[in-house]
Each structure stands twice: as structure tokens, then as C-alpha cells.
Amino acid sequence: MKKIFLLLILLSTILIVSTVKAERSNKEIIFDDLNTKNFIAKAGYLELHSIKKICSYDYCDYLIGNNVYDVLDNFTKNYLETVKNKEDRLILNVKGIKITKLVLEE
């Protein structure tokens, strides 16, 4: 009886610890209609230091800059370097780059 009780306590502890670890992993916010041109209007409620990465589909970049304008300029510049077609780069520069996900600090 004692062995079963100890086993239940051990399993419960493992379950609780694994749940807490999962909650502390990187938190992500998924967006449908966010881009570099409307970032401040749509995601301005987030504190800049709480964001770890900005992602556009498969491309993610760490925040580099002192304010939101520097961060968006650096993200745009780095993303456009990955685009091969000159016409696509010009269009993205004018319309803004779609931001699909923000990864928050733990």
C-alpha cells in the first residue's frame, strides 16, 4: 500500500513539474494582419523588452535596436537581404513585411 502511495506521489510530482516547464517555454503570439507598417498601431501595447524575436513565416530575427523604429528598420533590412528578386524587395519595402509571429521572452 505504501509503495502504491509513493508511486502516485512521484507520478503527480513529475506531472506538475513537466506542466510548469511547458508553461515557462517561449511564448508566442500569432498574428494574421500585422506587418512592419502597422506594427505600432496593432502591437504597440507590448513592451519592446518583452519581445525576443520577430518572425515572418520561416524567417525570424532577434530584436536589434533601442526603440521600435530601429527594431523595425533592422528587421526590414535583414529580411530584404534574404529576398532575391529586386521587384519583390521594392514591393515589400513599400507595403511592409508581414509579421506572422512574435516570440516573447521567457
63-87 pLDDT tens trace? 988 899 999 999 999 999 999 999 9
| Residues 42, 72: Cα–Cα separation, whole Å | 14
Q: Who's near 104: CB < 8 A, 6+ residues apart?
A: 26, 27, 28, 29, 46, 50, 51, 52
Q: What is the DSSP letter of 25?
A: S
pTM, to two decimals: 0.71
Q: What is the pLDDT of residue 12?
A: 66
In percent, the amount of the chain with pLDDT more than 70 equals: 79
Count CB neighbours of 75 within 10 A: 25
Please give the residue that has the higher pLDDT: either 44 or 18: 44
Q: Would you say 36 and 74 are in contact if contact means Cβ atoms under 8 Å apart?
A: no
Q: What is the pLDDT of residue 1?
A: 73
Q: What is the pLDDT of residue 22?
A: 47
